[in-house]
Chain A
Amino acid sequence: MTRSVLLRWMLFLVLTGWGLAYIAWFAHLVADSQDFVVAKRVDAVCAAAERSSPGAAIIEFNAGQLDRNMLLAGWGGPEDWGVWTTAHRARLGLPTPAVIDGDMLLTLDLLAPINHRIPEMQLRLRVPGGQPVDWRIGMQRQDARHYLVVPAELLRDRHCIELQIEIANAYRPIQNRLGRDTRLLGIGLRRAGWLSPRQIGPVQSAAD
């Protein structure tokens, strides 16, 4: 084997190793990276919840009153009435209730952008660590209060939780000839709050 051939092989091996190092480093970065904007917002929501001693009562999501850090991901800008999700997946950061006496009810005052073309919105809600819950919001409860049971073990010893919302059939009104809005609308949120189940009696249904 001549010297030049040996050098070529060595260079080839170095380049191969270099390429493999890229792949390994990329895999490490993907595996260990976390959304820094969401992480920062979660920290802010938890810190705010820790500071406010009575705990959360009713949280308004309109432009005037909202702590925008709660809109972790997938939300548009707050408006006078509340805020829209603007992605198929949205994440919401919420302070936990002041008193946790068993499983709690998370109340969500939602506005569904339904019409003759989109007769219902299909939602899947989940608190990390809990089971996902599917909701179908139709015309009758288009602008109404909905209840989500959150197990006590997901709330204890924490100042805040995350609510994940998937909206399978979010749509852009402009593409459906339903207006000029170019955003991907899924569900509107007016306000949220916590109730103990005994405060409202048996919950018949989470949604329609």
Chain B
Amino acid sequence: MSATIAAGPARSPDASRIPWLKIIGVVIVSRLLLFFIGLFTLYSHGIEAHLDWATWADLSCRWDCGWYGGIVNQGYGIEAPAQSGATSWAFYPLLPLLMTGMKSLFSGVDLRLLASAVSTVLLVLALGMMHRYTRLIGNSERVAATAVLIVAFLPHGIVFSSMYTESLFLCLLVGTMLALRLERYLLAGLCAALLSATRSNGIFIIVFIVVQLWLQLGSAAFFRPWRNPYPFVALLMAPLGTFAYWTYAFHTTGDAFAMATTVRHGWGWSWDWPLSNLSLFWKTGTDARFWVLGSLFTALCSLLLLRYRWYAEFAFCLVIFFLIWGGTVPNSLWRYSMVLFPAWIALARVLETRESMRMALFGAMGLVGGFVMHAWALHLKVTI
């Protein structure tokens, strides 16, 4: 089989077909593995746990999940008593809004469990669209399948089934990029607007949109937008989510940039040059080193995007790395970078004809993923 694949990019004529059943199967298997690792961790530490939904609900909810749950239940303005300056304004509103809607539909269900289900469904959607995207940019079925497997089994993948923004962000990110590539600009704009309401760095999708429009339209049309302004609708729609949140924060607190304010006061976030920060993080301790290594690995994979001339995707990854490494707090660098799916597509492409490397990668991901899930179950800081 690998010889056939190694022979070249044998593209299927039906590149738009998405293997939904396989994707659902992969997601279920990956979630079950995470659940069992979490369960065994709790057992082995003498913590009471059962093979039931309540245990899954508990296992899926750590760290920021509590903040999002607080916003859903009480709205914005919650403060952490033991963390001066830390407020729920640090968290963008789309996920809480979505969960508030879901909560009203399924009022009797444990919010954590509901969020886990919603995030998992969004992950399936994201992986389906990512499969389509991978084929669309000229990759084989094997590359698309490998990219799906990589994302489904990423270490720390539990956040894709938790009340975290990762699944929603990934779904909207792939949606925006796919719609733009398919020249469905209104849909791309809508996804981008929602993306910028999901997380603070969602607004930087405009970098992808600008570069992609330039490549797609050519310089002549890009620099003369009055000739065909319709594609630029996507660009103009993208900041809507961010502006909506800024406006809401402004009318509520008097501070449009309440998110930036609270992460500065409550989490000690400040700006410094990425190289200086990376050097600092490396000296900080084991947790920070883990985060740095994870983000560096993703960054290295994103460099492969240049090799395949996926410049717009590379530009987006570059800006996101500049942003996350520019903060003086190393927390969650790996988690922030794991949603940069173009890097995983590039990695899958590299592994297309390298079976032993592919197996080594999945083996390593299994080991690291097991460790991270173990740490997550025990509330260890490395999983923030």
Q: Which residues of A contact B (CB under 8 A)?
A: 8-9, 11-12, 15, 18-19, 22, 25-26, 29-30, 32-39, 68, 71, 73, 77, 86-87, 172, 174-175, 182, 184
Task: Tell whether A22 pairs with B225 under 8 Å between CB atoms, given A11-B230, A36-B253, A36-B255.
Answer: no
The residue from B228, B254, B268 contacting A86, defined by CB atoms under 8 A apart: B268
Contact of A18 with B84 in the complex, beta carbons under 8 Å: no
The residue from A8, A15, A33 contacting B227, defined by CB atoms under 8 A apart: A8
Contact of A174 with B236 in the complex, beta carbons under 8 Å: no
Contact of A37 with B262 in the complex, beta carbons under 8 Å: yes
Closest to B86 in A: A37
Besides A11-B233, A15-B225, A68-B84, 12 other A-B contacts (C-beta < 8 A): A8-B226, A8-B227, A8-B230, A11-B229, A29-B247, A32-B256, A36-B258, A87-B270, A174-B280, A175-B280, A175-B283, A182-B283
| A39: chain B residues within 8 A (beta carbon) | 254-255
Which of A9, A12, A37, A38 has the most chain B CB within a 10 Å cutoff?
A37
Chain B, 234-280, CB within 8 A of any chain A CB: 236, 239, 243, 246-247, 250, 253-258, 261-262, 264-266, 268, 270, 279-280
Q: How far is the CB of A124 from chain B (nearest CB, A)?
A: 19
Q: Which residues of B contact A (CB under 8 A)?
A: 84-85, 87, 89, 225-230, 232-233, 236, 239, 243, 246-247, 250, 253-258, 261-262, 264-266, 268, 270, 279-280, 283-284, 328
Closest to A77 in B: B84
| A12: chain B residues within 8 A (beta carbon) | 225-226, 229
Contact of B250 with A33 in the complex, beta carbons under 8 Å: yes
Closest to A72 in B: B265
Contact of A174 with B254 in the complex, beta carbons under 8 Å: no
| A184: chain B residues within 8 A (beta carbon) | 270, 328
The residue from B229, B254, B283, B284 contacting A15, defined by CB atoms under 8 A apart: B229
| A30: chain B residues within 8 A (beta carbon) | 256
| B257: chain A residues within 8 A (beta carbon) | 29, 33
In the bound assembly, the distance between CA atoms of A37 and B246 in angstroms comes to 16
| B227: chain A residues within 8 A (beta carbon) | 8
Contact of B243 with A22 in the complex, beta carbons under 8 Å: yes
| Closest 9 A/B residue pairs (Cβ) | A36-B255, A29-B256, A36-B253, A12-B229, A12-B226, A37-B265, A33-B256, A11-B229, A33-B255
Q: How far is the CB of A149 from chain B (nearest CB, A)?
A: 30
Contact of A29 with B226 in the complex, beta carbons under 8 Å: no
Contact of B254 with A33 in the complex, beta carbons under 8 Å: yes
In the bound assembly, the distance between CA atoms of A175 and B272 in angstroms comes to 13
Interface CB pairs A-B, < 8 A, 14 = A8-B228, A15-B232, A15-B233, A32-B256, A33-B250, A33-B254, A33-B255, A33-B256, A35-B255, A36-B89, A36-B261, A37-B266, A182-B283, A182-B284
Contact of B261 with A37 in the complex, beta carbons under 8 Å: yes
Closest to A88 in B: B270
Task: Tell whether A36 pairs with B233 under 8 Å between CB atoms, given A8-B226, A8-B227, A175-B280.
Answer: no
Task: Tell whether A29 pairs with B250 under 8 Å between CB atoms, given A9-B226, A15-B232, A37-B262.
Answer: yes
Contact of A174 with B255 in the complex, beta carbons under 8 Å: no
Task: Tell whether A29 pairs with B280 under 8 Å between CB atoms, given A36-B253, A73-B265, A87-B270.
Answer: no
Contact of B280 with A37 in the complex, beta carbons under 8 Å: no
| A18: chain B residues within 8 A (beta carbon) | 236
Which of B87, B268, B284 has the most chain A CB within a 10 Å cutoff?
B268
